[in-house]
Amino acid sequence: MKTLVLYYSQTRKTASVAETISQELSADTVEIKDLKERSGFFNSLKSTIDAFRENKTKINPENVDLSDYGLIYIGTPTWGGKPAPAIITLIDRCNFQGKDVILFTTMGGKGGNTTIKRMKEKLEARGARIVNFFIIRTGGKEIIEIKEDTRKIIEELDLKIYEYT
């Protein structure tokens, strides 16, 4: 069984965390793309409302085959204290039965704990076992700083112990 990192990223901050995990832990990655326009002030406001209401969205890929993976990292930005709609949509479409999952979220301000809690609830209802989680503060940080923070968390949480080969 292998390790997979699934993530959605609008500003590339969550992507930098996912890419660092993938590099450090030799994991495969799949970026989930939201097909709805989310940039700009009004679209950003609508996106936060969509996240808060847990509205579904069109994503690419529409589904991910998890059968080859024993450990799955799932990452999302925090929007209004909730996961991004693309990740909520993905969770509802995939079979997580018997999978070990590590959750992560990025946030500029606050709400990371409620984002993790909501993902945990949804994934456990779909048969996943949450084995760990972490939150990365990204507000005011450059990508290089976010990558370094991610490396520190990998070491501090000893995430390599979960590694599947």
pLDDT of 160 strictly over 90:
no
pLDDT of 165 strictly over 60:
no
**Tens-digit pLDDT profile for residues 8-49:** 999 999 999 999 999 999 999 999 998 887 877 877 777 777
**Tens-digit pLDDT profile for residues 45-86:** 777 777 777 888 899 999 999 999 999 999 999 988 999 999
Q: Where are the beta strands (DSSP E) in the chain?
A: 2-7, 28-31, 33-34, 59-60, 69-79, 82-83, 100-107, 129-137
Q: What residue ranges define each of the domains in the chain, with the CATH number in brackets?
A: 2-162 (3.40.50.360)
Mean pLDDT of 137-144: 94
Q: What is the model's pLDDT at position 109? A: 86
pLDDT of 164 strictly over 70:
no
